[in-house]
Amino acid sequence: MTRATERDQQAVSQFVERFGGILADTGMARMPARILAALLTTDSGRLTAAEIADLLQISPAAVSGAVRYLTTVQIVTREREPGSRRDVYRMRDNVWYEATFRKDQMLLMIDEVLAEGVEALGHDTEAGLRLDETREFFRFCHQELGTLLDRWRVHREQWLTERS
């Protein structure tokens, strides 16, 4: 018996639903959130559409739409099983880092747009001041997020070394 078969499948299913629900509460659509949680619980990090539908007891159409979203936002990749016409969906490596890095890039765009708004409204107006404070907040977040990502890379390498 392997470690994977020793798992309490009901507990795993409850985790998938609970974590998927939390991801949905943070803004991710519910079905992609459930699929992401399911992929996280597989040792291989890979599932076919049929396996996802069976595991989550959802329709193939629901799987199709949700994995299309997950591939578009680059959390999941679609691969072809060797010698088969079936697609396999796999979590991207280092997905949380990559998603956070994309947020970091978004903060730069927000900064640029807010700068335009401050110029349009005037630096010495109430609205201009409010936008400038908003811009400063996002600049602060961008700076801190960059530092955080650097620290994560170091921490991850340490953690991986300790685990091996």
Residue ranges per domain, the chain? Answer: 9-91, 95-163
- Measured between alpha carbons, how far is 89 from 60 in angstroms, rounded to an integer? 13
CA 56 to chain centre: 19
Place 3 in a pLDDT band, splitting at 50, 70 and 90.
low
DSSP class of 43? S
DSSP class of 81? P
What is the model's pTM?
0.75
**Domain 9-91 belongs to what architecture?**
Orthogonal Bundle (1.10)
Query: Tokens in use for 146?
Result: 């960059």
Place 55 in a pLDDT band, splitting at 50, 70 and 90.
very high
Place 1 in a pLDDT band, splitting at 50, 70 and 90.
very low
